[in-house]
Structure 1
């Protein structure tokens, strides 16, 4: 006989189907809003967890402002803190930090697509659209998408697998590089094992938290240790689509021609140029500063400048006090942090490809040509429009947050601007201002981190419903520019 349900009691299958249909319906209407909602819910959950007495070493409840800020900083893989991360949190609290940065590093839209996969039990078209849009923001707009995109819909499954494998493999390798150095430094076996895993995760996710009280002070001259951190930060900052492309080409049959998309080429080339330029500028600007590099010889100065240039791209680690830098170096750091890393990476900022497209457009205009060309490929005009939107929205968020914090704290402009850009670009470096902020300033910085991580384009699309079609065109007239 077939079992029947009691009257008025819905079956679990029916309830589950309704939940999946509701989630899929909301995700299909606005993938970007769904992704932002996922991140907001994650932050809420981690705020509650960080507020628990078990999360602190003293067994007391963390104030709401500090718990919220920590949750946002962890989920947004920023690295800024209003409490002493090494001494304030217990083993449970540090475990929350470790798990949170792994979740946040996946990316806002990719995370939403994975949640949709769990709920729907399959990776459907809608989930693929959300995952693809994390690597290619053009997908949140209506209309055709260029074929030269970073990741096509058919490759989204590979991208999600690459995200998981790259995180495990790269973090594992970095941990293996760090572990023996910690043992040599006299750190106990258990502590060395935990801290090597912790540091490797903070490097690849570009977060920059340190599990120990002294931070990198004990390893400030250990170039093996610092080099391992730089490798982790760089690999995390170039982006999962680039890692996927490199892994795919490495598996090609010997003799077959390797194909690199324009996204991969622009990301790697621009990243290397910025890395070298930052290193040179820090050497020139800080060679006479006794508080930073002035007491070092030439070789040590070059390495420390390279380390600082790498970390300002979103890494968050530092072997010097940031407020000891000259004002000119702080401004250089502001620019590097604002640019950030690659698209669909663990880094923040407006992204290196955005900067590359803007420079290509300016170069094309200077030459008097209509099209933007790079590596024998033409970049369509809608990519330029998106790049301008990203840069303007990012500059607007930084400007508004800076003005508000200046009014709240009355602190020097260079310090406020540095910490605001660090929050927006999810970098994690600080002049010391963030840990001294009143609650009002803490909430402003938390909002800045959230806006920077979810992405200016994603946020704009969620608020302005960019998928609407324009059915008419107004008469054309040219204003004076410049």
Structure 2
């Protein structure tokens, strides 16, 4: 029989097929990206209301709507930008709310991004196998359960290990009481793995700039969170001997992540080595620890162990680029993702060589992936450009500081030159939009582009414009 679904008539063989097809044509099934936006919006509103309660502030007074909304957005989007001093402004209840929002935001992003990636892979894979079949089966319950359990288990294992290391250091090295040491360890471990950048010290981690026992566990946590669950899952499989070949995604992510981190570490350490306001006053060992930390943290971790506002403009520009690129897909890192950056570099190299097809990691790259990577990158550039211009118009700060703030918000990094709290409320609202768009935008945008892919039934005459 033939039934009408939406604006189209489709043939179905049986009532069971009709029910299955109708499920696939529900708005949520056809546009799963909308569910991500709606879900994060609900968590954001709940967090804002909780932070506005008088009990959430140390003073016992209600927090303004904009300040609560900004802080909740920064926590849910695991960014780390703040308009109030976290350790002195928020009460224990407020800090607990922040910790819960960070955990929910990080787990939500990893889980939903992984499931969307699985949905895209399953749909496109079946499309290639079945040819003309337009609609495909949804992800099986077994796959969903495996992804969700894997994300939660991985998150808790890394967070517990990091918290244990930090707790020991706070207790032994800084003589914190046992309860306080555990609290500090857990909070910073969760913040680190989720690439949130929130710290319970007014100077963030500046007081620990030369301490590798604090810096190394935090770096390890935010690197693992920033690589993304699919890559972590593949690493575990290789360690256990259950896999013999790396996937294209894992190879691209690991290679590009390592290369960009190396460039960041070398460049920032070299530029800031003699800067008396950043690394210059530390010993050689301390400079190396702080330099490595600040070369890695633009992967969207957001912590800082030196005063970012005193960094050389060249260091700020390099950090801008690294923050914009971000970390791995389906992880807690933001940005356009290292895979997008690597694919665009591969496309450019192919064009320079004059080749007709793009090959990456021993595989041919579909033309649709070129367009998706280009679209995501240019959309990010456009969003940052517009936001920067708006901030320059409505705030008293210069281009270096404003551009850094915009890129940090879009990349959900959380580092700042120190202007966040001094921005007018209108500018803070712009930053809120940037953080939200930067957190859910690249994921939903890329998945929507992939899921909308379809064959065109006709083509137009070809003509080449002048390029360059």
For the criterion TM > 0.5, the same-fold answer is yes
Contact persistence 1:32–1:140 (CA under 8 A): no
Q: 1:393, CA displacement in angstroms?
A: 0.5
Cα distance, 1:283 vs structure 2 = 2.3
5 Å-filtered alignment, 1:105-144, equals 105-108=106-109, 110-111=111-112, 131-134=114-117, 144=127
Change in CA separation of 1:68 and 1:272 when aligned onto 2, cut-off 3 Å: same
For 1:404 and 1:464, how far apart are their aligned partners in 2? 31
CA displacement at 1:157 relative to structure 2: 3.0
2:111 corresponds to 1:157: no
Task: Tell me, in whole angstroms, the C-alpha distance in 2 between the residues paired with 1:460 and 1:239.
Answer: 16
Which is worse superposed, 455-464 or 278-287?
A: 455-464
CA shift for structure 1 position 41: 1.3
User: Structure 2 CA distance, aligned partners of 1:140 and 1:93?
Assistant: 42
Structure 1 SS opposite 2:379: helix
Matches within 5 A, 1:55-204: 55-108=56-109, 110-111=111-112, 131-134=114-117, 144=127, 155-184=143-172, 185-204=174-193
Structure 1 residue aligned with 2:42: 41
Aligned residue for 1:324? 310
Report the equivalent of 2:12: none
Q: Deviations for 1:13-52, whole angstroms, at most 9, x for unmatched residues?
A: xxxxxxxx99993311321112211111111111111111
Q: Is the 8 A contact 2:171 2:181 kept in 1?
A: yes
Determine the C-alpha separation between the residues in 1 that align with 2:363 and 2:450.
Answer: 31
| 1:396-475 equivalences in 2 (<5 Å) | 396-456=382-442, 458-459=444-445, 466=452, 470-475=456-461
Q: What TM-score does the superposition give when structure 1 sets the normalisation length?
A: 0.85
SS in 2 for 1:415: helix
Give the alignment partner of residue 391 of structure 1, picking from 377, 387, 394: 377
**Cα distance change of structure 1 residues 24 and 377 upon mapping to structure 2, 3 Å threshold:** closer
State the secondary structure of the residue aligned to 1:47: helix
Deviation per CA, 1:284-343: give whole Å up to 9, x if none: 222231111223444432322110011111111111110100111100000000000000
Q: Unaligned regions of 5+ residues in structure 1, if any? A: 1-20, 112-129, 147-151
CA deviation map 1:212-235 (0-9, x unaligned) = 345323322211111011000100
Assess if the C-alpha contact under 8 Å between 1:107 and 1:134 holds in 2.
Answer: no
1:225-244 alignment runs, 5 A limit: 225-244=214-233
Query: Residues 252 and 258 of structure 1 are in contact (CA less than 8 Å); yes or no, is this contact kept in structure 2?
Result: yes
Q: Is the 8 A contact 1:142 1:466 kept in 2?
A: no
Which secondary structure state, in structure 1, belongs to the residue aligned with residue 364 of structure 2? strand
Q: Distance in 1 between matches of 2:211 and 2:119?
A: 38
Q: Is 1:272 matched up with 2:258?
A: yes
User: In structure 2, do the counterparts of structure 1 residues 135 and 43 end up closer, same or farther at CA, with 3 Å as the change threshold?
Assistant: farther
Structure 2 match to 1:51: 52
Matched ranges for 1:17-28 at <5 A? 25-28=26-29
Contact 2:384-2:410 at 8 Å conserved across structures: yes
**Residues 247 and 359 of structure 1: CA distance in aligned 2, closer, same or farther (over 3 Å):** same
TM, length-normalised to structure 2:
0.87
Q: Is the 8 A contact 1:107 1:344 kept in 2?
A: no
CA contact (8 A) 1:55 1:91 kept: yes
Taking the TM superposition and a 5 Å limit, the aligned residue runs for 1:198-347 are 198-252=187-241, 258-347=244-333
**2:70–2:432 CA contact under 8 A, matched in 1:** yes
3-state SS of the aligned residue for 1:315?
A: coil
Q: How many positions carry a matched residue from both structures?
A: 437
